[in-house]
């Protein structure tokens, strides 16, 4: 059979197999194949669009899980299924039939006032979405099949689902996600945020673990880019979309135009910098607005108060929970994706979906509430808030709680204090309410800038580690800084006034005007601290009378003594692109709060309050709703100064003030009264005096307020290392004397030549009231601090004490005791001579002042004397420690009544723990057991700490040994038993007891608390060692309990401590000699 051929005129075509096919059949098959291919293409496109991913967006990688449903059993079942299948869960309780309170209308998200927002329909082609009021997209129910994960933990090559190949993308010229700062090519304009908080009153623990969110961010493209970066921390994403360019201003009456969708090529997380990276298949156009859309979920923090956190508490005899936020410095990104930098300000619309039992709070007032039914048929409350002004992300705030409130009105605005229902019912929030509104009004009048929000809420939490946070319009507090119980400590009112004033001041300094970057955080905290002081003196008449004393005691004294030149810490730091929240958190220390406020007060005093406030008003009005840096502040002060001729500075504001904010340490200003020469030098610790510091050039421009022979003199400036002021030269007359830094307005220490100190001492002995209380306080601090570090002799400082029999102010005695009764001078029983001599010398001078204050204690009059409240603790402790019999007897009386009759200490609450300490010290195991019973009932961490300290005050070695055995017992109720061991070891008698205890129990201690605790105890009992024989004895002891390696490390540390002790022994010898010579003065 040969090859078969076909004829042209035949009815068909010959196939290779020899079969003939009809032409009609061939045409039909071609058409059918084409139709099938078209159907496949359409179905593929429909699938991609319904899942809201880019057609090129098939990704494999890390799979995450989103928030559970509200029903506890459903949640458990779902989690179990997901753990088996390793899948993503989508938001489950959002109905497909209910219009959400928030919506996606890019045309109206930039308004500054509250507006209703239309929704963006996704029912049409995603290549051509239109603005409408159509139904929102549906969400699957609890057990529906979830979509695949969209995000990986790092960039991946993208694989396509369909045959068409993507267009070539331009190669990136950089990797912006590796930079710690956001790129500047896209900036936020408005956030439309909805949070779904699942907290349920009948299942608070399970229902408070997760949350869901939906977010629109309207952004402006500043420069062309194909990558968008937002901050994100611990969030899981179901969906991300970018729409735009948006219509500039369509107006409500105009027909809304279609909005394109920007194709997303890839979306992934870069956890090292806490970024979510969105790579686009096209470039965003400069000058145009776009909308970023996210569906996401996250976890509620159960252990730390960062991001969205939960606190359990007891109220009305029930266990309850509150969920709230803490976002400073960089935890907004843990609740919603955002541009989480202080200069990236935008407006916000917030909606919170929550259980109807609870109330929802945010920065702005509520404008609407509605109901939303979930897939289980439960109706949730939807609370919608007004639009915020432009603000930083870190001061947005959210709370869902079962609280009550007290309310007041201030200049037409609501002021509400929210707290536990028990606290509100007992009136414990009334004091906070009485001061909050007036503080707002006072600051408005002073700064001539109105508070821009329509309300202010202050809310207290049972525990709040950071104590308070200034969120705009919703300030958060620890309860003990907002509410006051009936039998609370007398100083609680001052603490509440202080904290409330500080946080309200932030509404201007930090919220209205915000630092550009965290290096200038002092612009927030320094000014808030200064106006905290300012408001306290305005609202408390007694503190107003002693305002300089209050400021020095509360703000300056602590920071000045530790601010030496070798500390690499300045008020304003260089701009550093911090990559971790912990790096920013370390900036929030005493330097920006206390040193910042001290520098501000000093500068205010130089300008005068009128010019100072005028400069601040100009600064606030210029940068309202915006950001500033330190130079902006200096420029506005300079402008005010340039427009007047009454106050003249020796240099520009910037050149003067930069030295105080950019240099570490503080200067010592020394006056030689024989010549009138004044010089300055940086304050070093003794061991550092010969070192060179890279942190400054050793000079400041120093304003010097001074007094000569009781008359305040004009301000002078020291703008060089040294300068002669002829008017400061003194004669030999005993009536001629001078002191620098009058009223403690300057941030520096003062020193004098020997004649200058002698003249001051003589004046104090003659009439101490010629020198103000604050200046007497600072004289003691400066003299003793300079003596401990080798700038003056210890005898010079001791000479100041000769007049003390005439000193009636507890504030001054407080400084005396802080400087003279230093623990490191009495660590050893070998120092008994100095104790006995000092006791005899000081008690003779202390008795007149003691009678004044002991009567106040007995008459329960302490709570009415705020200045006494500030200092009485240390005075009482010092008097009893020195063995003043009336002090010890008073302790016995109060402690006995409390123990035997269960009578509250009440107005003696101020010295409650001092009374406990000396009550135990003079008692037996009976008193110790009584405090243990109080400890068992305590629920406050602060009270537990003070009780443990008081229990360690016993002087009975048998009681102390028993207390250590109790701490070692695994059945002990002590929450921190290892801490109790250390407290005992820190006392003079306790060190001896601890050594004996460790000889017998070191293995048990190591087993129960670990090697570190054993080393800590050994180190504590070694503190007094100063001789070679003591060292050799301890060396043998430490090798026995620690082993050779750990012992060597500890012994090296002890050798350094020995040098300190030996230097202290030299000072002690000088003190003893001085006391012997001056005992009869």
**Residues 187, 444: Cα–Cα separation, whole Å:** 31
**Pseudo-torsion of CA 622, 628, 633, 638, nearest 10°?**
-60
CA quadruple 693, 699, 700, 706: dihedral positive or negative? positive
The tokens describing 9, both together, are: 């005129």
**Residues 388, 473: Cα–Cα separation, whole Å:** 10
Cβ-contact 680, 669 below 8 angstroms: yes
Task: Given the residues 386, 503, 807, 927, select the one marked as catalytic.
Answer: 503
In 222-317, at which residue ranges do the beta strands (DSSP E only) sit?
Answer: 225-231, 236-243, 261-262, 264-270, 275-284, 289-299, 307-315
The tokens describing 403, both together, are: 């609280």
Cβ-contact 468, 432 below 8 angstroms: no
The tokens describing 875, both together, are: 């005075």
203: Cβ–Cβ under 8 A, 6 or more apart, which residues? Answer: 72
Reduce the DSSP state of residue 241 to 3 states and report it. strand
| Alpha helix positions (H), 389-448 | 421-425, 430-447
The strand pair at 225-231 and 275-284 is best described as antiparallel
Cβ-contact 995, 1021 below 8 angstroms: yes
The tokens describing 677, both together, are: 């020469």
- Let me know how long the chain is: 1081
The tokens describing 849, both together, are: 């002042």
Neighbours of 30 (CB within 10 A): 10
Terminal-residue alpha carbon distance, the chain: 144
CA angle 371, 375, 381 (to 5 degrees): 20
Number of Cα atoms under 13 Å in the Cβ half of residue 51: 17
Cβ-contact 396, 350 below 8 angstroms: yes
Per DSSP, 301 falls in state: B
User: Which backbone phi and psi does 886 adopt, to 5 degrees?
Assistant: -65, -35
For the residues of 1003-1049, what is the DSSP string, one character each? HHHHHHH-HHHHHHHHHHHTTT--SHHHHHHHHHHHHHHH-HHHHHH
**414 assigned to active site:** no
**491 assigned to active site:** no
**Pseudo-torsion of CA 871, 873, 876, 881, nearest 10°?**
-120
Cβ-contact 337, 215 below 8 angstroms: yes
**Inter-helix orientation angle 596-607/522-539, to 10°:** 70
The kind and range of the H/E element at 524 are helix 522-539
**Residues 1027, 261: Cα–Cα separation, whole Å:** 80
The tokens describing 989, both together, are: 């008698």
The tokens describing 1058, both together, are: 């020995």
Task: Given the residues 75, 336, 552, 593, select the one marked as catalytic.
Answer: 593
The tokens describing 552, both together, are: 């020095």
**C-alpha 491: how far from chain center:** 22
**Residues 1054, 1043: Cα–Cα separation, whole Å:** 16
Number of Cα atoms under 13 Å in the Cβ half of residue 357: 14
The tokens describing 76, both together, are: 């458990």
Beta-bridge partners for 718: 702
**Residues 341, 332: Cα–Cα separation, whole Å:** 10
Q: Which residue has the tokens 């916000």?
A: 348
Beta-bridge partners for 41: none
Catalytic residue list: 503, 593
């Amino acid at each position: 059979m040969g090859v078969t051929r076909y004829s042209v005129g035949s009815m068909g075509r010959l196939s290779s197999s020899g079969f003939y096919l009809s032409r009609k059949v061939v045409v039909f098959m071609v058409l059918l194949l084409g139709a099938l291919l078209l159907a496949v293409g359409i179905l593929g496109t429909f699938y991609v669009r319904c899942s809201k991913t880019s057609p090129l967006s098939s990704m494999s990688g890390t799979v995450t899980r989103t928030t559970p449903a509200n029903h506890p059993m459903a949640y458990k079942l779902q989690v179990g299924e997901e753990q088996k299948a390793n899948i993503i869960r989508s938001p489950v309780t959002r109905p497909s039939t209910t219009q959400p309170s928030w919506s996606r209308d890019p045309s109206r998200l930039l308004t500054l006032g509250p507006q209703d927002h239309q929704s963006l329909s996704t029912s049409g082609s995603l290549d051509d979405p239109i603005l409408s009021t159509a139904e929102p997209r549906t969400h699957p129910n609890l057990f529906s099949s979830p979509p695949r994960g969209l995000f990986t933990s790092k960039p991946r090559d993208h694989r396509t689902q369909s045959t068409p190949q993507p267009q070539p993308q331009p190669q990136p010229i950089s990797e912006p996600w590796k930079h710690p700062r956001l790129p500047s090519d896209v900036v936020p304009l408005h956030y439309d945020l909805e949070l779904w908080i699942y907290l349920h009153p009948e299942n608070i623990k399970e229902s408070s673990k997760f949350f869901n969110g939906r977010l629109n961010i309207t952004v402006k493209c500043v420069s062309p880019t194909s990558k968008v970066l937002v901050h994100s921390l611990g969030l899981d994403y179901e969906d991300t979309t970018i729409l735009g360019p948006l219509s500039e201003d369509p107006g409500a009456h105009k027909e809304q135009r279609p909005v394109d969708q920007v194709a997303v090529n890839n979306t992934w997380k870069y956890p090292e910098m806490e970024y979510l990276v969105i790579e686009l298949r096209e470039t965003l156009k400069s000058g145009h607005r776009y909308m970023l859309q996210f569906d996401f979920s996250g976890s509620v923090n159960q252990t730390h108060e960062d991001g969205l956190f939960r606190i359990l508490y007891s109220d009305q005899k029930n266990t309850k929970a509150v969920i709230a936020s803490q976002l400073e410095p960089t935890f907004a990104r843990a609740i919603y994706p955002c541009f989480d930098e202080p200069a990236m300000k935008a407006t916000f619309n917030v909606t919170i979906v929550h259980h109807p039992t609870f109330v929802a709070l945010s920065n702005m007032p509520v404008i609407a509430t509605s109901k939303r039914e979930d897939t289980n048929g439960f109706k949730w409350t939807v609370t919608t808030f007004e639009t915020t002004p432009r603000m930083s992300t870190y001061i947005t705030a959210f709370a869902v709680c079962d609280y009550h409130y007290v309310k007041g009105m201030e200049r037409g605005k609501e002021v509400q204090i929210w707290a536990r229902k028990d606290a509100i019912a007992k009136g414990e929030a009334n004091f906070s309410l009485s001061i909050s509104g007036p503080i707002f009004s006072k600051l408005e009048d002073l700064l001539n800038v109105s508070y821009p929000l329509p309300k202010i809420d202050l809310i207290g939490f049972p525990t709040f580690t950071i104590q308070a946070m200034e969120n705009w319009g919703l300030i958060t507090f620890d309860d003990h800084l907002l509410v006051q119980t009936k039998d609370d400590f007398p100083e609680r009112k001052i603490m509440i006034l202080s904290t409330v004033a500080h946080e309200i001041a932030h509404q201007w300094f930090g919220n209205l005007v915000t630092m550009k970057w965290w290096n200038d955080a002092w612009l927030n905290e320094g000014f808030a601290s200064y106006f905290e002081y300012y408001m306290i003196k305005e609202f408390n008449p007694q503190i107003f009378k002693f305002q300089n004393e209050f400021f020095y005691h509360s703000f300056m004294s602590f920071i000045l003594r530790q601010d030496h030149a070798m500390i690499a810490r300045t008020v304003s730091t260089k701009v550093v692109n911090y990559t971790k929240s912990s790096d920013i958190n370390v900036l929030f220390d005493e330097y920006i709060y206390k040193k910042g406020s001290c520098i501000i007060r000093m500068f205010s005093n130089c300008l005068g309050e009128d010019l100072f406030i005028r400069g601040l008003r100009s600064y606030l009005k210029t940068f309202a709703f915006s950001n500033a840096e330190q130079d902006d502040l200096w420029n506005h002060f300079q402008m005010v100064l340039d427009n007047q001729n009454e106050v003249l500075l020796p240099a520009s504001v910037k050149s003067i003030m930069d030295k105080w904010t950019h240099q570490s340490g503080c200067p010592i200003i020394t006056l030689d009264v024989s010549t009138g020469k004044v010089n300055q030098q940086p304050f070093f610790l003794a061991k550092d005096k010969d070192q060179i510091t890279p942190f400054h050039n050793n000079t400041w421009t120093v304003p010097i307020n001074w007094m000569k022979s009781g008359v305040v003199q004009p301000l002078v400036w020291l703008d060089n290392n040294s300068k002669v002021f002829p008017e400061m030269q003194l004669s030999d007359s005993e009536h001629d004397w001078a002191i620098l830094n009058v009223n403690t307005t300057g941030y520096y220490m003062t020193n004098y030549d020997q004649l200058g100190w002698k003249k001051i001492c003589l004046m104090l002995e003659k009439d101490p009231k010629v020198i103000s209380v604050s200046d007497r306080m600072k004289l003691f601090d400066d003299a003793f601090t300079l003596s401990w570090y080798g700038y003056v002799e210890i005898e010079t400082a001791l000479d100041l004490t000769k007049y003390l029999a005439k000193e009636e102010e507890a504030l001054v005695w407080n400084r005396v005791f802080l400087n003279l009764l230093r623990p490191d001078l009495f660590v050893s029983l070998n120092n008994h001579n100095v104790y006995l001599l000092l006791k005899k010398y000081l008690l003779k001078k202390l008795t007149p002042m003691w009678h004044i204050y002991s009567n106040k204690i007995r008459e329960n009059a302490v709570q009415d004397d705020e200045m006494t409240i500030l200092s009485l603790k240390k005075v009482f402790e010092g008097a009893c420690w020195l063995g003043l019999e009336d002090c010890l007897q008073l302790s016995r009386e109060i402690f006995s009544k409390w123990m035997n009759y269960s009578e509250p200490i009440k107005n003696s609450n101020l010295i409650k723990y001092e009374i406990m300490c000396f009550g135990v010290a003079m008692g037996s195991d009976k008193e110790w057991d009584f405090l243990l019973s109080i400890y068992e009932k305590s629920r406050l961490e602060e009270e537990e700490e003070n009780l443990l300290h008081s229990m360690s005050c016993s002087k009975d070695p048998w009681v102390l040994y028993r207390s250590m055995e109790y701490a070692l017992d695994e059945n002990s109720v002590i929450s921190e038993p290892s801490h109790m061991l250390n407290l005992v070891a820190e006392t003079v008698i306790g060190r001896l007891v601890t050594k004996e205890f460790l000889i017998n129990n070191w293995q048990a201690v190591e087993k129960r608390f670990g090697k570190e605790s054993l080393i800590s105890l050994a180190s504590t009992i070694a503190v007094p060692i100063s001789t070679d024989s003591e060292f050799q004895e301890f060396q043998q002891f430490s090798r026995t309990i620690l082993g050779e390696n750990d012992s060597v490390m500890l012994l090296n540390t002890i050798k350094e401590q020995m040098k300190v002790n030996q230097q202290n022994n030299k000072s002690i010898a000088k003190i003893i000699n001085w006391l012997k010579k001056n005992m009869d003065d």
